Structure 1
């Protein structure tokens, strides 16, 4: 019988030791970021946001520059079309088919830009008297003005001037020079600011 109480006692001791054994403590929670790490992350976040803002602003500025360049290109083209000369046959003031091809786009541009006013300058070659050439150049300028008014443009937008033979484009006495000198030129005198392309 002494064995049994000893066995029971040993078993009880084992149970007590096992029951009282503690679980090892859990590992400590990881330490949070330090103040320096938090500040570095904040600065990094600010830098990323600023870089994104800068990128958006740069893209917007590039779009605006491209749009402005396009507006300037269109303006130059429209102005060149408005200022393009037309030529006349010898001793004639009738609008030729070639001149009509130059004048029709002008009429469209002028219709799209109602504040633009134009001075039409008539010219002649050196053949003929000064008085005759002044009258012929005046008829040429008037023919151009009438062409525009026939397209519904207000007559008040046009001023005609005759220079006769006084302002030759080519200062020579041959058929090529005379053909260049028989012309009407166009000077924008009203609001020629930013021109609008016809639709």
Structure 2
């Protein structure tokens, strides 16, 4: 965890340090292009909510849910993942980040590991369905990004999930 935080700090420092002042000549030398009506729609990239499939706004990508303390793929999740695999195969301009999440119970470390197991189980199943592994990445947020606040069984059930975030290649 400390290593990830240090890496994030170094990455931010590099981005901030590399950004130089924009001079007037930089602005003047940048050509301005206006897309024609033929290319305007085609060149506009798809825009996705940063909450990915949790937003419910990406037709074809659906969040999968897990039982308490489990990372196995249920029969219901297999059906959902079959549909998700079709979306991923069809949308070749996108990689998909699989995000593993947990409910609020347990330690931070335990939930990060469980979220990673969930995301990796989903990735392995999608690969078994023919999705290229190179187009999938995994990350675990543990209990840090709940989709519903609270510790009721309903909230806990919604937070035990793997969701999908398309990322432009």
Distance apart, 1:110 and its partner CA: 1.9
Matched with 1:155 is 133
CA RMSD, aligned part only? Answer: 1.9
SS in 2 for 1:188: strand
Matched with 1:179 is 157
Structure 2 gaps of 5+ residues are 1-45, 47-55
Map 1:59-98 → 2, pairs under 5 A = 79-82=58-61, 84-98=62-76
Higher helix share: 1
Distance apart, 1:79 and its partner CA: 3.2
For the 8 Å contact 2:88–2:96, the answer to whether it is kept is no
Provide the C-alpha distance between the structure 2 equivalents of 1:190 and 1:96, rounded to a whole number of angstroms. Answer: 29
Distance apart, 1:78 and its partner CA: 9.5
Structure 1 or 2, whichever has the larger Rg, is 1
SS in 2 for 1:105: helix
For the 8 Å contact 1:89–1:179, the answer to whether it is kept is yes
Higher strand share: 2
The structure 1 residue matched to 2:81, chosen from 103, 124, 136, is: 103
The Cα offsets for residues 155-175 of structure 1, whole Å up to 9 and x where unpaired, read as 110110100000111111111
Give every structure 1 segment of 4 or more consecutive aligned residues whose post-TM-superposition deviation is greater than 3 Å. none
